[in-house]
Structure 1
């Protein structure tokens, strides 16, 4: 991940926290009330709202559900990342997930050897 992409992630987390606060205030909920609704402390809600702690996907869903909004509401006002950043990130991930050719060949050779040994026993 490039430093630029990491910086964008931090900005995204801060934006989501600001949206959380805005929605909570619009719903006339205190941090304590919202925290009780989703099973976290008011201090944790404060950390989410100020971007100090990341909100997991599951927790974001719980927060949205508790406040009666769609998860997409937390992303309102964001501009999409340029395609080049997404493509670069996707290519990097794809490359790291691709099996190593030598390992793949060794596994195939091992499976062939096992199969041949089983046929010889019969």
Structure 2
């Protein structure tokens, strides 16, 4: 039976991948900096191998972020009594932040964010957001009756 990666391990790995890609660093280069093979970096990024505390500290220094960065938007964790709660310091709306992080971790999300960040004019950035919202609304299914004020 195949072992399923822990959701926290997958989340931390995806944050490692996102930061590595944002810096334009290959898995090979990150592996060299950590004294690992690129295959080990792949396993960390997929969450199939858990990252230990000292290794996470080393990764955070190499990627120039605090260790807490890797837990931002992490999924809910379960208490000993079985109740779920967000990890300390994690926003309450972890589902929507997880969706955003998943998008940013894609090639399209990274390219869009890098290009958007290079636009110096705040008014132009605001207009682009308005355009994207309009385009997204055109593709969205119509709201159910009564939800838009029309019955």
TM-score by length of 2: 0.48
* Runs of 4+ with >4 A deviation: none
* Residue 88 (str. 1) matches residue 84 (str. 2): no
Equivalent residue runs for 1:62-81 within 5 Å? 62-79=58-75, 81=77
- Equivalent position to 2:34, from 20, 32, 38: 38
SS in 2 for 1:59: helix
TM-score by length of 1: 0.59
Equivalent residue runs for 1:97-112 within 5 Å? none
* Residue 11 (str. 1) matches residue 7 (str. 2): yes
Residues 1:86 and 1:61: Cα distance change in structure 2 (over 3 Å): same
CA distance in 2, matches of 1:25, 1:38: 16
Q: Which runs of 5+ in 2 are unaligned?
A: 83-151
Q: Which runs of 5+ in 1 are unaligned?
A: 1-6, 90-122
CA distance in 2, matches of 1:52, 1:42: 14
Equivalent pairs counted in the alignment come to 79
Contact 2:7 2:75 in 1 (8 A): no
Q: CA RMSD of the aligned region, Å?
A: 1.9
What does the per-residue CA deviation read over 1:59-112, in whole Å, with 9 as the maximum and x for residues that have no partner?
Answer: 01100001110000001112554xxx43538xxxxxxxxxxxxxxxxxxxxxxx
Larger Rg computed on CA atoms: 1
